[in-house]
């Protein structure tokens, strides 16, 4: 006799628990999407910084080669003293 009273309660309990779990899963997926979006922004900023550093390094290499060529083209001061 108690079976017909308890069975719907158990079923509704499982239904309620599954809805709570589904809500938690949806909330976690939204949080994950927010984190992924922030991660993509950070990756884009880091990529831009690496491109800037690459351009700066290229300019510094050109300048270093120019200074090297100028130094090599000048006569050695130490030869005159010997």
The 10s digit of each residue's pLDDT in 24-56 is 999 999 999 999 999 999 999 999 999 999 999
Q: List the structure tokens of 78.
A: 């130490």
**pTM > 0.85: yes or no:** no
d(CA 15, CA 11): 6
pLDDT at 6 (0 to 100): 84
Placement of tokens 């006569």 in the chain:
75
Query: Which has more pLDDT, 40 or 10?
Result: 40
Q: List the structure tokens of 55.
A: 């351009």
Of 7, 9, 29, which is closest to residue 17 (Cα–Cα)?
9
Query: Which has more pLDDT, 74 or 21?
Result: 21
């Amino acid at each position: 006799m108690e079976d017909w009273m308890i069975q719907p309660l158990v079923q509704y309990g499982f239904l309620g628990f599954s809805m709570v779990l589904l809500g938690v899963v949806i909330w976690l997926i939204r949080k994950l999407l927010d984190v992924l979006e922030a991660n993509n922004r950070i990756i884009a900023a880091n990529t831009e910084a690496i491109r800037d550093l690459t351009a700066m390094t290229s300019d510094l290499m050109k300048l270093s080669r120019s200074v090297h060529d100028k130094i090599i083209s000048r006569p050695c001061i130490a030869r005159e003293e010997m």
